[in-house]
Amino acid sequence: MADANEPVSVVGIPSRVEYTYSPGRATTRFLRAIEQKRLMGQRCTGCGKVYIPPRGACPRCGLPTDEEVELTDKGTVVSFTVVRVPSENIQLELPYAAGSILLDGADIPFQALLRDVEVADVRPGMRVQAVWVDDAELQPSFTNIKWFHPIDEPDVPFEKFQEHL
Amino acid sequence: MRDVAIVSYAQTPYQSSVSAQNEVEMLMPILSEAVEKSGIPRKEIGFTCSGSTDYLAGQSFSFVMAVDALGAWPPIRESHVEMDGAWALYESWVKIQTGEVDSALIFSFGRQSMGDLPSVLCLQLDPYVLQPLHPDGISLAALQARALLDAGKSSEREWAQIAVRSRADAKDNPDALVKGDADVDAFLAESCVASPLRPHTLPPVTDGAAAMVIAAGDLARRVSEKPVWIRGIDHRLDPHMPGVRDLTVSPSTAKATEKAGGAAGVEVAELHAPFAPQEVILRDAMGLGSDVKINPSGGPLAAHPMMVAGLARIGEAARQIWGGKAGRALAHATQGPCLQQNLVTILEAD
Ligand SMILES: [Zn+2]
């Protein structure tokens, strides 16, 4: 028996709440397209910016992004980081690079792994392309893209993507 | 005190599930509608405040994602309360009182259908001695209802009558979810969900959003033909632990009503009683006479979007004034277990 006056420092209170998540119209269209190995962005009806993955609104204008725009799976690394510290959530061999990738025709970058390249060679402006899972494994998920890897195209100058960092 | 008026209000049609839409998609049309109706250009609205809780979507920072619907560029003055949108209105009213801004956009949203609200509401309870017992939102309301019966202050028949009235009034509200002709005896033949609460006494699972624009005196007069003046607004609370309270009364509601200006002369009252028995407690605390029309919108039994239903009471009361149905109206919002927190607003036409 603990001393009655000893402060209680730990209590266990199991709790569980379950949710059925639904991502909304815009993201649903994106996920249905990526299931077909296509990358669908959406253009703002106000400022013309193209968002991918889309959430249905242009945060700049507060307007719906109703126009669908199909993009290629090629893009440019606009920024990157190299992960060197292990974490229990990371299954990858260290060090590895992750980048902000601006797809051709898009106005905002998204984050993805960068592989098939030495981390020392990763640089802003580097041209990359998506590496997809096998067709049999395609599902309505962004994980259909395993990572991006370099392609044999000249680097894009900083001025061309500085607005999209 | 600066005079402050509601100059516009918009809400989604309430649905049992809007699973096709995310929060931003649900919000954009009503934000545009409220801003457009206000007559104040979006970029000139001085302050924006929202009320919501991430527990509904089970998604952290979903309230920040909702800002995508605003077009917040160049950066705007923006705030959020982890409370019903009625409290976002309260913060906005205070902001206008400081003199820093002359107008505010208030909004709130909830997609309750994605989770299990009664279980989510359990998480707002004391974590050491109450939450481990898992009293959910319905069980706590049932305890309160039972206390009312035991005290001889109400009856199951009275609750069924409230539900019948709510559904009948909701027929005239295109946004309401549960509406139609119903029968007291048929309701009383239902079996209990949590004794003594039967299904008709419970708020329906509801998804939806609402938005409102308020403005200070001169601006309100300039942009609106019929500003609805907020004559008083007051928020009071009872202790968090239901066990230390007499659940059959609501002293915080009585105090908030008094401080907001009192119920005298009120023709219409929109009461946020998520469970039918709670309406009896609120009417009693406010001293509402039998001549006061209660919940002409159908009230929370007709649509209860969590985090929105309180703001919706204020919006629906304003609609009564805009529609010429009342010159003075009372709107009430609640939050917390068993009517713990209560906010009362008194609205008037010019
Ligand atoms: Zn835009």
Q: So what's the pLDDT on residue A100?
A: 97
Is ipTM beyond 0.90? no
Least confident range from A15-29, B35-49, B177-191: namely A15-29
What is the structure's pLDDT at B80?
97
- Of A13, A59, A60, nearest to B127 by CB-CB distance is A13
Q: How far is CA B109 from its chain centroid?
A: 11
- Asked if B71 lies within 8 A of A11 by C-beta distance, the reply is no
B97, pLDDT greater than 80? yes
Asked if B59 and A57 come within 8 Å (Cβ–Cβ), the reply is no
DSSP characters for A34-61?
A: HTTT-EEEEE-TTT--EESS--SEETTT
Angle between helices B251-260 and B276-286 (to 10 degrees): 50
- Give the residue on A whose Cα is nearest the Cα of B127: A13
Q: What percent of chain B has pLDDT over 70?
A: 100
What is the pairing mode between strands A57-58 and A127-132?
Answer: unpaired
Say whether residue B28 is in contact with chain A using an 8 A CB cutoff.
Answer: yes
Interface contact A25-B21, CB threshold 8 A: yes
Within 10 angstroms of residue B75's Cβ, the number of other Cβ atoms is: 6
CA B225, distance to chain mean position in Å, is 25
Window 29-48 of B, Cβ < 8 Å to A: 31-32, 42
Chain B residues whose beta carbon lies within 8 Å of the beta carbon of residue A53: none
Residue B230 neighbours by CB under 8 Å, 6+ apart: B4, B5, B6, B93, B214, B345, B346, B347
Mean local confidence (pLDDT), B301-311: 98
User: Which one of B25, B42, B113 has the shortest CB-CB distance to A24?
Assistant: B25
How far is residue B229's CA from residue B328's CA, in Å, rounded to a whole number? 9
Domains of chain B: 4-115+205-227 (3.40.47.10), 117-202+229-348 (3.40.47.10)
Q: Which of A27-41, B3-17, B55-69, B142-156 has the lowest mean pLDDT?
A: B55-69
CA of B24 to the centre of ligand 1 (A): 14
Query: Which residue is associated with the tokens 């200006």?
Result: B261
CA angle A75–A77–A82, rounded 5-degree value: 140
Cα separation, B194 vs A21, whole angstroms = 28
| Nearest residue of B to residue A8, measured between CA atoms | B128
Q: How far apart are CA A96 and CA A118, in angstroms?
A: 8
Q: Terminal CA-to-CA distance of chain A, rounded, Å?
A: 60
Q: How far is B240 from chain A (nearest CA, A)?
A: 19
Distance from CA of A126 to the nearest CA of B (A): 30
- Average pLDDT score, chain B: 96
C-beta atoms of B69 and A57 within 8 A:
yes
Structural tokens at position B30: 């009503």
State the amino acid at position A96 in one-letter form.
Answer: Y
Q: Report how far residue B163's alpha carbon sits from residue B133's, in angstroms, rounded to the nearest whole number.
A: 30
SS3 for B303?
coil
Q: How remote is the CA of residue B9 from the centroid of ligand 1, in Å?
A: 25
How far is the centre of ligand 1, averaged over its atoms, from the C-alpha of B102 (Å)? 27
What's the pLDDT score for residue B60?
A: 85
Closest CA to A68 of A105, A41, A45: A41
Size of interface A-B (CB pairs under 8 A): 84
Distance CA B173, CA A155 (A): 60
List all residues 6 or more positions away from A80 whose beta carbon is below 8 Å from its beta carbon.
A97, A98, A99, A100, A114, A122, A123, A124
| pLDDT average, residue stretch B203-210 | 97
The predicted structure's pLDDT at residue B42? 94
- pLDDT in the model for residue A1: 66
Order the strands of the A39-43 sheet from edge to edge.
Answer: A50-51, A39-43, A67-71
Number of H helices, E strands in chain A: 2, 10
Cβ A29 vs Cβ B25: under 8 Å: no
Alpha helices in B154-308 (DSSP H): 156-170, 184-188, 217-223, 251-260, 276-286
What is the CB neighbour count within 10 angstroms for residue A31?
17
Q: Give the H or E element holding residue B243.
A: none
Most B CBs within 10 A among A8, A15, A108, hence the mutation to make, goes to: A15
CA–CA distance, B130 with B123 (Å, rounded to integer)? 10
Dihedral sign of CA atoms B118, B307, B331, B342 in order: positive
Chain B residue with CA closest to A14: the answer is B132
Q: At residue B331, does pLDDT exceed 90?
A: yes
Region A31-40 average pLDDT = 97
Q: Is the pLDDT of residue A21 over 70?
A: yes
Cβ-defined contact of B114 to A26 (cutoff 8 Å) = no
Residues A63, B28: C-beta atoms closer than 8 Å: yes
Q: Determine whether the interchain pair A24/B128 forms a contact, defined as Cβ–Cβ distance below 8 Å.
A: no
The dihedral sign for the CA sequence B71, A68, B63, B330:
positive
What are the pLDDT digits (tens) for A83-101? 999 888 888 899 999 999 9
Q: Is the pLDDT of residue A43 over 80?
A: yes
Residue A87: per-residue pLDDT: 87
The average confidence (pLDDT) of chain A is: 94
Q: Is the pLDDT of residue A2 over 80?
A: no
Which one, of B282, B327, B334, lies nearest residue B313 by Cα? B334
Within 8 A of A61 by CB-CB distance, chain B residues are: 71, 73
- Residues B118, A95: Cα–Cα separation, whole Å: 46
**Do the Cβ atoms of A107 and A100 come closer than 8 Å?**
no
Cα separation, A57 vs B66, whole angstroms: 10
Average pLDDT value for residue range A42-65 = 94
pLDDT of residue B198: 98
Q: What pLDDT, on the 0 to 100 scale, is given for residue B18?
A: 87
Q: What is the pLDDT of residue A13?
A: 86
Considering only CB atoms, B28 lies closest to which of A17, A28, A57, namely: A57
Q: Residue A22: its chain B contacts at CB < 8 A?
A: 19-20, 22, 114
For residue B176, the tally of other CB atoms under 10 A from its CB is 24
Out of B78-92, B124-138, B306-320, least confident range: B124-138
- Judging contacts by C-beta atoms under 8 Å, the chain A residues touching residue B120 are 17
Q: Which helix (H) or strand (E) holds A23?
A: none
Give the list of residues 6+ apart from residue B35 with CB closer than 8 angstroms, or none: B8, B41, B42, B45, B105, B211, B213
DSSP B179-210: -S---HHHHHTSPPSBTTB-GGGSPPPBEEEE
Average confidence (pLDDT) over A27-41: 97
pLDDT for B19 beyond 90: no
Nearest to B69 among A17, A28, A62 (CB): A62
At B315 the pLDDT is: 98
Helix extents (H) in chain B:
23-38, 54-57, 62-65, 85-97, 117-122, 137-150, 156-170, 184-188, 217-223, 251-260, 276-286, 309-322
B71 touches chain A (CB under 8 A): yes
Residue B153 burial by Cβ neighbours in a 10 Å radius (0-12, 13-18, 19+): middle
Beta-strand relationship, A50-51 and A39-43:
antiparallel
pLDDT at site B337? 96
Q: Do B25 and A15 touch (CB under 8 A)?
A: no
pLDDT of residue B59: 85
Q: Which chain A residue shows the shortest CA-CA distance from B22?
A: A24
